[in-house]
């Protein structure tokens, strides 16, 4: 590995460490090669997420994401990633190397971009099936990218990787309800708001009543069903790769427990875990994953 490429991987590691403690705890459990690869992918996808969430004009964000799509296509067109005109961009240099080494299908990256583009034009979801398509793009497809890095023994692993990604995204939606409202985004399906007798107006008022608790209880149960199916992934992974998804699932499941413990009040303050809780969860889930 060249000094330039080694530096690119170090850059991606530092970006992940600064930006995402939840993921950093989990990624640290992987063997070095796979760990570096997942850092590079995370750094690239975080860049895309920041484009979608930026405060710029909508058309500008669409053009920026289309530009990222063209860069991905360029990386796949070249037999050797360093031939792509990526300038001094360490994230693209490392990501191109990961794509070549792990043979990640291009469509997975394109599906992530499609999910982010959907987020630019939709602020409400009528049914869970509509929401699931979004969750697949921004999280399920990420699970499939990660799976190629983890390694797997059976094609059935793919469905479980998707379920695990969707479970994590559903947890994010519940945790970030207040922040999304401030951006006029509601990911709770409109059909389910109506079913539980809780209005969008009450949601904007951040009203925590019995109808809201029943609605949230239903959402938490759905996320747990996806975690249950997603964690079946572990049996198809090499032993050294199992702790990473197990730790991620454990941290996010603890967030669900914390939401429940607060009577589903996700408005008064952000739900999260302390670094000590994350470390303890990581240790326990890493050990348990070896017996999956």
| Mean pLDDT of the region 16-45 | 90
Mean of pLDDT over the chain: 93
pLDDT at 249 over 90: yes
Tell me the fold of 122-292.
Farnesyl Diphosphate Synthase (1.10.600)
What pLDDT was estimated at residue 113? 97
Question: 86: pLDDT confidence band, cut at 50, 70 and 90?
Answer: low
What pLDDT was estimated at residue 145? 98
Residue of higher predicted confidence among 196 and 292: 196
What pLDDT was estimated at residue 56? 83
| Mean pLDDT of the region 230-259 | 96
Portion of the chain with pLDDT greater than 70, in percent: 96
pLDDT at 57 over 60: yes
Q: Where are the domains of the chain?
A: 1-114, 122-292
**At 108, is the secondary structure helix, strand, or coil?**
helix
User: Which is it for the CA torsion 46, 278, 250, 203, positive or negative?
Assistant: negative
What pLDDT was estimated at residue 25? 81
What pLDDT was estimated at residue 85? 56
User: Which is it for the CA torsion 257, 279, 180, 41, positive or negative?
Assistant: negative
What is the distance between the alpha carbons of residues 268 and 259, in angstroms, rounded to a whole number? 11
pLDDT at 229 over 70: yes
| Mean pLDDT of the region 121-147 | 97
Question: 87: pLDDT confidence band, cut at 50, 70 and 90?
Answer: low
What is the distance between the alpha carbons of residues 61 and 265, in angstroms, rounded to a whole number? 33
Nearest alpha-carbon partner for 11 in 121, 113, 88, 123 = 88
| Mean pLDDT of the region 231-255 | 96
Tokens of 145: 């990218």
Q: Is it true that 1-114 and 122-292 share their CATH fold?
A: yes
What pLDDT was estimated at residue 17? 87
Question: 78: pLDDT confidence band, cut at 50, 70 and 90?
Answer: low
Q: State pLDDT tens for residues 189-199.
A: 999 999 999 99
What pLDDT was estimated at residue 138? 97
What pLDDT was estimated at residue 238? 96
Class of domain 1-114: mainly alpha
Question: 1: pLDDT confidence band, cut at 50, 70 and 90?
Answer: confident
pLDDT at 29 over 90: yes
The region of weakest confidence among 14-28, 90-104, 113-127, 224-238 is 14-28
Question: Any residues with CB less than 8 A from the CB of 153 and at least 6 apart, and which?
Answer: 236, 237, 238
């Amino acid at each position: 590995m060249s000094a330039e490429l080694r530096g690119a991987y170090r850059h991606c590691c530092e970006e992940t460490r600064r930006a995402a403690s939840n993921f950093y705890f989990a990624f640290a459990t992987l063997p070095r090669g796979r760990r570096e690869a997942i850092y590079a992918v995370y750094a690239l996808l975080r860049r895309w997420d920041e484009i979608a969430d930026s405060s710029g004009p909508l058309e500008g964000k669409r053009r920026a994401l289309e530009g990222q799509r063209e860069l991905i296509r360029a990386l796949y067109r070249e037999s050797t990633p360093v031939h792509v005109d990526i300038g001094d961009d360490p994230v693209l240099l490392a990501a191109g190397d990961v794509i070549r080494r792990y043979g990640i299908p291009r469509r997975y990256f394109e599906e992530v971009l499609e999910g982010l583009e959907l987020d630019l034009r939709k602020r409400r979801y009528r049914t869970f099936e509509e929401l699931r398509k979004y969750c697949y793009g921004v999280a399920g497809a990420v699970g499939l990218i990660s799976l190629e890095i983890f390694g797997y023994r059976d094609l059935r692993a793919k469905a479980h990787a998707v379920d695990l990604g969707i479970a994590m995204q559903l947890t994010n939606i519940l945790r970030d309800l207040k922040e999304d409202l401030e951006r006029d985004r509601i990911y709770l399906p409109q059909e389910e708001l109506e079913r539980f007798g809780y209005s969008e107006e009450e949601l904007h008022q951040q009203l925590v009543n019995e109808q809201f608790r029943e609605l949230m209880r239903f959402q938490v149960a759905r996320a747990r069903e996806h975690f249950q199916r997603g964690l079946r992934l572990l049996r198809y992974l090499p032993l050294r790769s199992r702790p990473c998804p197990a730790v991620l699932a454990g941290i996010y499941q603890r967030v669900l427990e914390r939401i429940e413990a607060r009577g589903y009040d996700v408005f008064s303050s952000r739900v999260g875990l302390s670094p000590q809780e994350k470390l303890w969860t990581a240790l326990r889930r890493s050990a348990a994953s070896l017996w999956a």
